[in-house]
Amino acid sequence: MTRRGGEQPSAYLRRLPIGRRLALGEVANSDLFPLEGEILVKPLEPPILPEPPRRGEPGGDPCPVCAGKLGNFVVWRDERWGLGIASEPSGLPMVAVLQPLAHHDLEDLPVELTGELGSMIQRVARAIGRLDAVGRVHVNRWGDGSQHFHLWFLARPKGMWQMRGAMLAVWDDLLPGVPEEEWHEARRLVAAAMAEEGGAVLVE
Ligand SMILES: [Zn+2]
């Protein structure tokens, strides 16, 4: 399987006006765009080929999951999966990460784990959705930082219709942090909700 293509710029890259700014266009007029005022799109930076190694890839930094460097990030786990929630509060009422305990990327996730993934996504979404403040749970896979497969769960605050859609990730950085005590209670509640169907709570 070709994972990154060759080192020659693709036809797509050759079309891009590298070094120039694209017009902001209708993006800024969207109800969902969180910023206003005079905003410029950053100039397009030159492509990097081959792309830099991610954490856990040959030549990259060690995988923090497999090196056991997550501290108290993992709040729940069973035999094959872990759910991580940062101990530092987010702006959103909950941000969580689902990952297999073993080192796989999405493309080489064993069939046993891919078979479980659907029900795990549903289970995490339900657990987070039980928090009072949560209106909807969005699921994202980016994976540009770490090779170890991880899915992001971002909770939209209930009632904040303005924050619907993909800009929720930006709102997370704009909103004031949830108070520490409330955040830790939310971590405990989500971990406990996960454990109702098995696995162990790892947060006090
Ligand atoms: Zn790993």
pLDDT, tens only, 14-60: 999 999 999 998 898 899 999 999 999 999 999 999 999 999 999 99
**CA 29 – ligand 1 centroid, Å:** 41
Report H helices in the chain: 11-15, 111-129, 168-174, 180-195
Residues of the chain above pLDDT 90, percent: 91
Instruction: Domain ranges for the chain, please list them.
Output: 7-51, 74-201
Tens-digit pLDDT profile for residues 139-192: 999 999 999 999 999 999 999 999 999 999 999 999 999 999 999 999 999 999
φ/ψ of residue 99, rounded to 5: -150, 150
Q: Which class is domain 74-201?
A: alpha beta
Strand order, beta sheet including 74-77: 134-140, 151-157, 95-100, 81-84, 74-77, 200-201
Q: Which residue pairs from 11-14 have beta carbons closer than 8 angstroms and sit at least 24 positions apart in sequence?
A: 13/47
Task: Tell me what pLDDT residue 4 has.
Answer: 54
- Cα separation, 20 vs 53, in Å, equals 26
Q: Residue 7: what pLDDT?
A: 85
**Residue 2 clears pLDDT 50, i.e. is over it:** no
Distance 168 CA to ligand 1 centre (A): 27
**Ligand 1 centroid to residue 71 C-alpha, Å:** 15
Output the CA 48–ligand 1 centroid distance in Å: 24
- Closest C-alpha to 148, from 107, 103, 82: 103
Terminal-to-terminal C-alpha distance of the chain: 43
Q: Is the pTM of this model over 0.85?
A: yes
Each residue's pLDDT tens digit, 58-96: 999 999 999 998 989 999 999 999 999 999 999 999 999
d(CA 41, ligand 1 centre) in Å: 35
Q: pLDDT band for position 204 (50/70/90)?
A: confident
Tokens linked to 188: 């405990």
Q: How far is the CA of 70 from the centre of ligand 1 (A)?
A: 11
For residue 13, the CA-to-ligand 1 centroid distance in Å is 31
Whole-number pLDDT of residue 182: 98
Cα–ligand 1 centroid distance for 121 (angstroms): 20
How far is Cα 134 from Cα 179, in angstroms, rounded to an integer? 16
Ligand 1 centroid to Cα of residue 62, in Å, is 8
